[in-house]
Structures are given as structure tokens and as C-alpha cells.
Structure 1
Amino acid sequence: MSGFYPMTSLELRPVRHVIPEDTRLWRVHNARYAPDEFNPTLADPFDPRQGSRFDGTVLDPYHSLYLADTATTALSESVLRSRPFERSESMRIIPYVTVRGRSLSVLRTTCELVLVSLIGATDLAAVCQNTLLLEDESNYVQARHWAREIRAQAPDVMGLIWQSRHNRPQHVLVLFHDRFGHHDGKPFEVLPDDGVADLGSKDGVRRANRLLEPLRAKVSEPVWT
């Protein structure tokens, strides 16, 4: 658990969402890191420009692992942020550098994941929040603060789950490394044959583009040598 006490007088009543054992989840990550490795980097608790929405901070120093329920969702969450549709092709064009050095990995859960649901309006209201917690890109300081509050008032939960901003109505989630001591910090089995080890390779870009096609998006292909 976090080891921290709630900082708000509001009583949170988190709604639990359970992901069963033997569920496949997807992740896009730097290829230098293992597919099931939690990110140990802590975000600045007062700088909304640095880190991801629900990262740990020095005020609550957990390592984080972001996942999605489909390959397309994981990829879209990674590459479609702030990407406009371009008039020349009526598509979102993603620079090749965005996928270079990155992997798309598949993990299978080896235990139940007990999460706090932020999926619906009533779920958000249960933790005294609304959609701004998930939609406001300038609100990361508040989002991290509220993740800390949820962890303090729900010491049994392993992470949070919400609706993808880039592939609705699919789901994304974040896990907290310090809630997996009963599983030696290893709640997953890696399924290497189903992922894309190198999204920057010719095959990797083309597989990525097949996944992104329904979202009218594609990665620019370099001149292959």
C-alpha cells in the first residue's frame, strides 16, 4: 500500500473493477525495457508537463505500468495524442520517429487485477471527480494528486481503469507496482509471439498501420534500404 494518509476530507467510495486471471493486455513501451517492467521514473508532483497522467511522484513513489485491452488501443494511446487530420490525405499522419525504438507487447495476467473504475460518470462521482480528471491535458498535477488520494483510501486496489481517449469505448489502465507483493511483483506472463518487438522495422510499421487504419491514422514509412 502507499503508506500515506488521505489529504482530503472527502469520503471516496471507489467502484471496483476486476480483470480476471488469464486476460490478455497490450502495451507500447521503449524496446530497451522488458515488456512486463514497471516504469520506475517518478513524475514531478507540481509540473503538469512532465510524465504521464497517473505516474507516481516523490509524494507517493510507486512505479507505474500502463496497459490497454486491445493492441489498437495501446498503439493509439501512444501515437495519436494531439494528432490532427491532415487535409492532403484526410488522415492522421504519425512521424516515423514516434515508433522507432519501441515495442508492442502482449501480457497475460497470472492473477486477478482489482482496479478502481473511472470508466463511467457514476464511477468518477464515486471518487468525487468528473471527466476533467481524464480529459484535461493540463491537469496532470490534479490527476496525480487524486491517484494518491484513491490509493490512500483504497489500499487493496492494484491500479485504475478508464475509457481510452483515442479509441473509445475501449479501456486503458495503470498498475501500481507496490500492490503486487503477494505475486513477487510479477503479475504477468509475457507472450512474445503475439507482439511486435520492433515497431520501427518495416514489418513493424506495416503491422502498426493495419491496426491504426480504422482510426484513419498511419505511420510515415521511411525509405527502406
Structure 2
Amino acid sequence: MPLIKFFPMIKEELRPNFMVIPAGTELWRVHKSTYRPGQFNPTLADIHFNGGRFEGTPLDPYHSLYVADSALTAVAESVLRSVPWTGEKRVIPYALVQGRSLSVLRTTCELTVVSLLKEKDLAAVRQNADLLDDERSYAKARRWASEIRAQAPDAMGLVWQSRRNRPEHAMVLFHDRFDDRHGRALDMLPERGIADLGSPEGVKEVNRLLDPLWAEVSEPVGW
């Protein structure tokens, strides 16, 4: 899938550092329950405003799949993004878990991703921590992800340190880099995860996971 660039971002050549995710690695994902556990999200972000930090755009229309290296990190990345830290125990709106599932995938082959874990990794792609931490510059982050993709055509995704559960890892995978591995790169692990995060049992389990981060999902009135 060709990348359409509307202006050159940099003149220098990027020198990304790569990380190999071994075959057999377990990856956790929170997703809409209507999606299959290994289904890439086809939603494209707006070029300038709405959308996730590293989602595809109409200018680079890849589908994305966000995963993490633990259940807690996957849940935290999903539900703590819009909940400010006030010093009190964070209360997460029930709507953020309603209609969602927590699934476990296992890699069946090695995945080569661009590392953004260390400062030297960010410098290698001519960036700093703002690429990961600045909530005001998602549009810039999406454009820079496209620049990395263009200059690292073998990269299957990006990996960085989770902002909500440091120092564990969060990752985004690019669907077009899996075309020759379709149906083989990611296997679902059945009877793992939480099928319905919005159920009474699901909320209880999510709150057990989130307790070390001093956060909990509110229960709907009438439960």
C-alpha cells in the first residue's frame, strides 16, 4: 500500500532501531466485542484532529492493532487515557468498558518492530518523548508514524513504554505489513482474557487488575 506524502517531513534519513518480538509471545488487547481478537481496526484517523496517536489516515491508510505485554497494561492504555490524575482514586466511567473485551494473542512468528522505548531510539527517528507523551500533537505523531513506515518498510509496527503503566510496553501493529502472514502471525488463546468487560464479572476482574494503579470502573446504578 503506497504512502502518499503531502509534504516532506524531514531531509535527514531516519535510522530506526529495531526490536524483534519472538514467536510464542503473548500480547494482550482490549477491543470492541464486535471485533475478532486478531482483527485490525479499520478506522482511519482524521489527518489533523480526531483519532488515535498512531492510527492510519487517508494519506497512509493502514489498519491498526494496539496490543500490550500484560493484561494490566492493555486495560490501562484503554481506559486511563481520558481519566485525569487528581490524587484521589481514579473512577473510570462504565461506558469505557461497556461492549469491550480483553483478549490474548500469541505470535506464531517473529515480529520486527521499530523501538521507541529509549531516548536513543526516539533520537534515531529524530524525535523525543513528546512523540509519546504530548496529548496535543496526535496529528504530528500520526504523520511521523507514516514517515517511519516509509523509511522502514520492513517494520511491522512500533513499540514504546506505556504512559499508563511504565515501564511495561505498548505496541501498534500495521495490517499491511502482515499481508504475507495473513492468518498465521497471531493466534487467539481461547479461554483467556475477559469476554465482556462490561458484565458484573468483567468489571470485578478489571477492578482487580487496576487496583495497583489506584483506579476502578464505576458500577452502573441498579447492579
Which band: TM-score by shorter chain?
Answer: over 0.9
TM-score by length of 1: 0.93
1:112 to 110, 113, 131: 110
Kept after mapping to 2: 8 A contact 1:177/1:185 = no
Residue deviations 1:196-224 (CA, integer Å, cap 9, x gap) = 01000011000000100000000112245
Instruction: Confirm whether residue 84 of structure 1 aligns to residue 115 of structure 2.
Output: no
Q: Secondary structure at the match of 1:93?
A: strand
Kindly provide the amino acid, as one letter, of the partner of residue 22 in structure 1: G
Kindly provide the amino acid, as one letter, of the partner of residue 41 in structure 1: T
Aligned to 1:170: 168
Aligned to 1:33: 35
> Does 75-84 or 138-147 show the bigger shift?
75-84
Aligned to 1:74: 74
Aligned to 1:20: 22
CA distance in 2, matches of 1:74, 1:171: 9
Aligned to 2:202: 204
For structure 1, the residue ranges without an aligned partner over 5 or more in a row are none
Q: Deviating runs (4+, > 3 A) in structure 1? A: 1-6, 84-87
CA distance in 2, matches of 1:42, 1:29: 16
CA distance in 1, matches of 2:209, 2:222: 21
TM-score by length of 2: 0.94
Kept after mapping to 1: 8 A contact 2:3/2:59 = no
Q: Secondary structure at the match of 2:191?
A: helix
Kept after mapping to 2: 8 A contact 1:12/1:127 = yes
How many residue pairs end up in the alignment? 221
Cα offset for 1:84? 3.2
> Does 155-164 or 187-196 show the bigger shift?
187-196
CA distance in 1, matches of 2:89, 2:110: 39
Instruction: Confirm whether residue 100 of structure 1 aligns to residue 98 of structure 2.
Output: yes
Aligned CA-pair RMSD: 1.6
Kept after mapping to 2: 8 A contact 1:2/1:155 = no
Kindly provide the amino acid, as one letter, of the partner of residue 219 in structure 2: E
